[in-house]
C-alpha cells in the first residue's frame, strides 16, 4: 500500500523524452574535480595525507579561514578549456561533469551570492563559462556537479538540533537554491545536475527543499536531468522514496564500484550512472599517486564496457593540477581509451543491456532496436572457443570481428541455445569486438546447423 508523500518521486518509470534519451545514449562521460584542493594536492606543511585530496581541509584539520585563503593562490595559468575539450573528444566521451562547487565551497563561476568564487582569485575569469563553451563546441554535453555540503558557508549545518540550527540551515538552503537557479539560468546548455554532499541529517530533514530544487531546475531548464543523490522524501528517505520509487531521474549510488554483472541485474530496469576514480580514492589532484593502485587504461576500459553492458553510464574522473594541467597518466588513459573508442565507440554509445547470460570472455552490448549483438572480449580462453548461451527464440547466424570487414568466424551450435564461436588463439593486446547477427526462431535442439 502506498504511503502518502508530498515530496516523494515526481514521476515513476524511465523517462523517454529526447533529453533523457540523449543522456542515456551518451554512456561515457568525463568527471572533473577541480577546486582549491588542487593547489596543495594532498600535501600540507610538508606532510602527505593519503586520504582523498579534496578532503585535505578535513584530514589535516585546516581552519576554514586558512583554507579559504588558498583562493588568493588560485591562478591556473596553463588552463586551456579548448585543449581539455579536445582531449575529452579524443577520449570518446559524450558528456563532461564539472564540480561547480565541491565541499570546500569555492565556486568556479562568479556567483552573485558569495565572494568565495573564482572572480576574487588572481585568475578572475569564469571557469565554468569557458568549459561550457569549449566542450559544447566539440559536441560534448556539460553537466554540473554541486555539493550541498559546504565547509565554507557559516549557515551550513550537519544536523538540526536547535531552533538556531533550523534558521541557519534555512538561510543556507535559500543560498544554495539561488546558486542552483543562477547556474541553470546563466548556462542555458547545461544538461544535468549531479548533486553530492546530501547525506547529512540537515538535508534529510529538508526533503521538501530537495523536491523543490528538482522542480525549479526543471522549470528553469526543461528537460534537465538530476541524480537521485539530490533527493530525500518527507521521511528523510534518500534516493528511493518511502514507497520504493526512485527519486530524480537516475540512480547515482555506484561510486568507485560497479554492479555485479550476474547478481545485480536489477539495475537494467532503471537509468543509472557509476562514477570512478583512476587511483583508489582520489577525485581532486593529489601530488603523489604512488600511495595507491592506479588503474590501467585497459582496466578502466573494461569498467566502461561492463557498465554499458548493464545499461548504465560510466563517468571517469580526472583531477587537474592547480596549474590547470592533466598528469601524464591521465593523458595516457585518455589516449588509450580514445584509440579504442575511435574504432569501437559504436558498441558503447547508444548501446544497452543485451538480455544475455554473462559469459567468462567478457560483455555483451546491443544497440537499441538492432538485430546484432556485440561481444566485447577481454578474456580469451586457451581453447579459443567463446561460449554463447542464447535465450529461447534466438538463433545465431553469423559472427565476425568488427574490424575484419565481415570475414566470418565459425559459429558452432553444440546444443539447443548453446554455441561456440571459434577465434584464433593468440595474444591479443586490446579487447576484441565480435559482431553477431541473429534471428528469431526456435533452435531444433538436434545439433543441426541453424541455416
Ligand atoms: O566528489 C567525490 C568525493 O569527494 C565525494 N563524492 C565523490 C563524487 C565524497 N564525499 N564524501 N565521500 C565521497 C565519502 C564520504 C562518505 C561518508 Fe558517508 C559520508 C561517510 C559518512 C558520511 C556515505 C554516506 C557513507 C555514509 C554516508
- pLDDT score, position 448: 52
In tens, the pLDDT along 417-433 reads 999 999 999 999 999 99
> Cβ distance 379 to 58 under 8 Å?
no
Q: What is the pLDDT of residue 406?
A: 75
Q: Which of 350, 373, 407 is the last residue of a domain?
A: 350
- Which three cell numbers mark 143? 553537466
Cell of 178: 539561488
Q: Ligand 1 pocket test: pick from 146, 283, 314, 316 the residue with the most ligand atoms within 8 Å of its Cβ.
A: 283
Please tell me the residue having the least CA distance from ligand 1 atom 22. Answer: 199
Q: Is the dihedral of CA 294, 300, 302, 308 positive or negative?
A: positive
- State the complex-level ipTM: 0.93
The Cα-based distances of 443 to 73, 413, 420 in angstroms read: 69, 9, 15
Q: Are 201 and 327 members of one domain?
A: yes
What pLDDT does 405 receive? 80
CATH of residue 178's domain is 3.20.20.80
Going by C-alpha positions, the residue among 37, 14, 22, 25 that lies closest to residue 284 is: 37
Digit-coded pLDDT (tens) for 204-248: 999 999 999 999 999 999 999 999 999 999 999 999 999 999 999
Give distance in angstroms: CA of 158 to centre of ligand 1: 14
**Are 132 and 66 found together in one domain?**
yes
Identify whether 449 is part of a domain.
no
Which residues in the chain show pLDDT less than 50?
Answer: 450-451
C-alpha–C-alpha distance, residues 107 and 90, integer Å: 28
User: How far is it, in rounded angstroms, from Cα 7 to Cα 236?
Assistant: 10
In a domain, 446, yes or no: no
Q: Are residues 240 and 296 in the same domain?
A: yes
Asked if residue 275 is part of any domain, the answer here is yes
Model pLDDT, residue 450: 47
- Domains in the chain, number: 2
Do both 127 and 182 map to the same domain? yes
Last residue of a domain, one of 334, 350, 366: 350
291 and 237 part of one domain = yes
Shared-domain flag, residues 233 and 284: yes
267, 311 contact by CB (below 8 A): yes
Q: Are residues 360 and 341 in the same domain?
A: no
Closest-CA residue, ligand 1 atom 1, reads: 283
Q: Tell me the CATH number at 424.
A: 2.60.40.1180
Pocket test for ligand 1, best of 97, 196, 200, 314 (most atoms within 8 A of CB): 196
Q: Is residue 68 situated within a structural domain?
A: yes
**72 backbone dihedrals φ, ψ, rounded to 5°:** -75, -5
- 384, with CB counted inside 10 A (0-12, 13-18, 19+), is middle
In a domain, 142, yes or no: yes
418 and 303 share one domain? no
| CA atoms within 13 Å, Cβ hemisphere of 268 | 18
The verdict on residue 3 lying in a domain is no
State which residues form the domain around 428: 354-440
Residue keyed to cell 569501437: 344
Q: Which three cell numbers stand for residue 292?
A: 595507491
Task: For residues 203 and 308, state if they share a domain.
Answer: yes
Residue 1 lies in a domain: no
Please indicate, yes or no, whether residues 195 and 94 belong to a single structural domain of this protein.
yes
Based on the fold, state whether residues 339 and 365 are members of the same structural domain. Answer: no
How much is the pTM? 0.97
Q: Which long-range contacts (CB under 8 A, 24 or more apart) does 109-113 make?
A: 109/183, 109/186, 109/187, 111/179, 111/182, 112/182, 113/175, 113/178, 113/179, 113/182
The pLDDT value given to residue 264: 98
Ligand 1 binding site (Cβ under 6 Å of any ligand atom): 33, 52, 54, 196, 199, 255, 275, 283
Within this chain, do residues 76 and 154 fall inside the same structural domain, yes or no? yes
Ligand 1 centroid from CA 145, angstroms: 14
Q: C-alpha grid cell for residue 385?
A: 572457443
Nearest CA to ligand 1 atom 3: 283
Instruction: Give the pLDDT of residue 388.
Output: 98
Q: Indicate the top mutation candidate among 36, 52, 201 to test ligand 1's pocket, ranked by most ligand atoms within 8 A of CB.
A: 52
Cα of 197 from ligand 1 centre, angstroms: 7
Closest by Cα among 55, 70, 105 to 281: 55
Domain boundary among the residues 325, 350, 375 is at 350
Amino acid at each position: 500500500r502506498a504511503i502518502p508523500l508530498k515530496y516523494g518521486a515526481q514521476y515513476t518509470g524511465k523517462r523517454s523524452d529526447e533529453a533523457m534519451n540523449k543522456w542515456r545514449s551518451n554512456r561515457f562521460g568525463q568527471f572533473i574535480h577541480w577546486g582549491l584542493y588542487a593547489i596543495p594536492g594532498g600535501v600540507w606543511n610538508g606532510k602527505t595525507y593519503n586520504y582523498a585530496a579534496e578532503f585535505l581541509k578535513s584530514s589535516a584539520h585546516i581552519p576554514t579561514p586558512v583554507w579559504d585563503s588558498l583562493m588568493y593562490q588560485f591562478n591556473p595559468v596553463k588552463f586551456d578549456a579548448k585543449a581539455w575539450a579536445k582531449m575529452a573528444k579524443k577520449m570518446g566521451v559524450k558528456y563532461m561533469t564539472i564540480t561547480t562547487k565541491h565541499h570546500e565551497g569555492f565556486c568556479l563561476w562568479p556567483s552573485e551570492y558569495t565572494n568565495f568564487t573564482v572572480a576574487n582569485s588572481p585568475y578572475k575569469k569564469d571557469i565554468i563559462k569557458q568549459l561550457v563553451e569549449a566542450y559544447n563546441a566539440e559536441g560534448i554535453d556539460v553537466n554540473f556537479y554541486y555539493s550541498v555540503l559546504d565547509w565554507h558557508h557559516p549557515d551550513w549545518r550537519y544536523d538540526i538540533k536547535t531552533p538556531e540550527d533550523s534558521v541557519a540551515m534555512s538561510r543556507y538552503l535559500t543560498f544554495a537554491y539561488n546558486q542552483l537557479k543562477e547556474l541553470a539560468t546563466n548556462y542555458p546548455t547545461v544538461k544535468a545536475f549531479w548533486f553530492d554532499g546530501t547525506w547529512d541529517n540537515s538535508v534529510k530533514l529538508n526533503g521538501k527543499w530537495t523536491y523543490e530544487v528538482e522542480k525549479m531546475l526543471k522549470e528553469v531548464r526543461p528537460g534537465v536531468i538530476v541524480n537521485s543523490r539530490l533527493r530525500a522524501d518527507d521521511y528523510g528517505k534518500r534516493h528511493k522514496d518511502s514507497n520504493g520509487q526512485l527519486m530524480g531521474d537516475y540512480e547515482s549510488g555506484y561510486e568507485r564500484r560497479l554492479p555485479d554483472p550476474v547478481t545485480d541485474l536489477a539495475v537494467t530496469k532503471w537509468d543509472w550512472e557509476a562514477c570512478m576514480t583512476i587511483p583508489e580514492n582520489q577525485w581532486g589532484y593529489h601530488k603523489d599517486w604512488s600511495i595507491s593502485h592506479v588503474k590501467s587504461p585497459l582496466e578502466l576500459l573494461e569498467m566502461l564496457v561492463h557498465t554499458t553492458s548493464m545499461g548504465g553510464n560510466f563517468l571517469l574522473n580526472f583531477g587537474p593540477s592547480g596549474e590547470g594541467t592533466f598528469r601524464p597518466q591521465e593523458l595516457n588513459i585518455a589516449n588509450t581509451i580514445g584509440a579504442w573508442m575511435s574504432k569501437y565507440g559504436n558498441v558503447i554509445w547508444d548501446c544497452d543491456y543485451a538480455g544475455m547470460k554473462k559469459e567468462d570472455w567478457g560483455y555483451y552490448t546491443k544497440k537499441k532496436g538492432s538485430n546484432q549483438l556485440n561481444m566485447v572480449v577481454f578474456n580469451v580462453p586457451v581453447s579459443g572457443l567463446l561460449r554463447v548461451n542464447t535465450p529461447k527464440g534466438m538463433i545465431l547466424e553469423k559472427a565476425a570481428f568488427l574490424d575484419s570487414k565481415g570475414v566470418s568466424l565459425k559459429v558452432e551450435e553444440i546444443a539447443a541455445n548453446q554455441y561456440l564461436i571459434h577465434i584464433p588463439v593468440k595474444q591479443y593486446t586490446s579487447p576484441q569486438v565480435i559482431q553477431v547477427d541473429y534471428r528469431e526462431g526456435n533452435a531444433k535442439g538436434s545439433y543441426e546447423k541453424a541455416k
